[in-house]
Amino acid sequence: PETITVQELANRMAARGGEVVKTLFRMGVMATLTQTIDADTAELVVTEMGHRPKRVAESDVELGLEGAPDTEAELQPRPPVVTIMGHVDHGKTSLLDALRQTDVAAHEAGGITQHIGAYQIELPSGGKVTFIDTPGHEAFTAMRARGASVTDMVVLVVAADDGVMPQTVEAIRHARAANVPLIVAINKIDKPGVRPDRVRQELLQHEVVVESLGGETQEVEVSATQRINLDKLLEAILLQAEILDLRANPNRPAEGTVIESKLDRGRGPVATVLVQRGTLRQGDIVVAGTEWGRVRAMLDDRGRQIKEAPPSLPVEILGLSGVPAAGEHCIVVPDEARAREISEYRQRRAREKAALAAGAGRGTLNEMLA
Ligand code: GTP
Ligand code: MG
């Protein structure tokens, strides 16, 4: 059966061990910090203490650090997070670049200053949209494998002169697996002789039925390079966002997902984090995977220093102890001691897993030799 020590349970909730012991006592369970309790009891304590229990990892109880669920009244609208996918050379990057130029602030600031894997644009209407650039298919798969769900919808770019190709189909599968809606952008319609209708037909074969064929998937004919119908695409995104009723509580300690990370020669470990709940602030102590640190500085996608990052905003954070992997969960904790505890716990877990894997490897080798 799945068990966990009281201390570890406390660590994972970022709560004091004594509090957990007390709560257990009130529930009629006598246990010290080093004693183990079963998963069901653990789940009860976690709920009792106002946290949301979450069992993830393969064979053991991994309790989320998310804290209490938000109430309806605490939730506020947040911008949609959109991932652009599609076959090689169908115009994903061109489309992202073109969309970015629709940002009102970009014009004021005099264009694009810096590239990070995600950015947010503000539309003349005041609406905001966050685009994620990085996830090539591999990154997307890796993030999904970590249980990270960052995108609210996928814009599927299909070049009208090339039609549905293998990676188009793969993108459709990714969107389905992630259970997020698609918007089809039929690109390169400026090219002479292209047949966008052929794309619609080809999509049918993969059970993507666009609206003009009586389906529910929005489609927009665009040209990234000629800047045709970008406004229509943005409208489609905002409409889809409205249908999804995307909301988050900005007034709580932040939680998010690492989108990409690197070791910068001058600045040390840098992680791009998409804030998904709460507001991330400069000075916050965060844990991302096994890494942790105090947020020394925070930069937006234009390289500007910011002090606060609300839900759906991607930000670069400086101050982590190391480079967390893309897809790692990033969460604000009350103090450094707690951060260290969580980090150490996760390192221990990683070592245990590695040892187990190594053990399994030896087993197979022995079998092979026998
Ligand atoms: P990968 O990142 O390599 O998968 O490609 P991508 O999907 O990002 O395509 P990219 O934006 O690099 O565009 C590929 C080529 O198509 C470039 O030469 C673009 O100039 C061209 N292209 C993109 N959009 C359009 C368009 O709307 N019309 C025309 N005529 N060409 C386009
Ligand atoms: Mg590209």
- Whole-model pTM above 0.80? no
pLDDT of residue 5: 87
Closest residue to atom 22 of ligand 1, CA basis: 91
CA distance 341 to 328: 17
pLDDT of residue 206: 96
pLDDT of residue 66: 52
Tell me the binding residues: 86-93, 133-137, 187-190
CA distance 210 to 356: 48
Does ligand 1 have an atom closer than 6 angstroms to the CB of 338?
A: no
DSSP track, 179-220: T--EEEEEE-TTSTT--HHHHHHHHHTTT--BGGGTSSBEEE
β pairing state of 81-86 and 153-159: parallel
CA distance 211 to 236: 12
Residue 71's CB is within 10 A of a number of other CB atoms, namely 8
Q: What number of residues does the chain have?
A: 370
β pairing state of 182-187 and 218-221: parallel
Closest residue to atom 24 of ligand 1, CA basis: 91
pLDDT of residue 358: 67
pLDDT of residue 182: 95
Question: Whose CA is closest to 20, among 30, 181, 346?
Answer: 30
Angle between the N-to-C axes of helices 137-145 and 166-177, in degrees from 0 to 180, rounded to the nearest 10: 20
DSSP track, 48-110: HTT------SSSS-------SPPPGGG-EE---EEEEEESTTSSHHHHHHHHHTT-HHHHHHT
pLDDT of residue 359: 62
Q: Which residues pair with 277 in a beta bridge?
A: 255
Does ligand 1 have an atom closer than 6 angstroms to the CB of 135?
A: no
Question: Whose CA is closest to 140, among 315, 327, 325?
Answer: 327
Residue 3, judged by CB atoms within 10 A of its CB (0-12, 13-18, 19+), counts as middle
How far apart are the CA of 120 and the centre of ligand 2, in A?
18
pLDDT of residue 179: 85
Dump strand ranges (E) for the chain.
3-5, 36-38, 76-77, 81-86, 118-122, 128-132, 153-159, 182-187, 218-221, 247-248, 255-264, 268-277, 280-281, 285-288, 291-299, 308-309, 314-320, 329-333
Closest atom of ligand 1 relative to the 222 alpha carbon = 27
User: By the 8 A CB rule, do 189 and 196 touch?
Assistant: yes
DSSP letter at 328 equals -
How far apart are the CA of 81 and the centre of ligand 2, in A?
18
pLDDT of residue 239: 95
CA distance 145 to 214: 34
Spans of the chain below 70 pLDDT: 1, 55-68, 102-116, 133-148, 357-370
Does ligand 1 have an atom closer than 6 angstroms to the CB of 246?
A: no
ipTM of the complex: 0.98
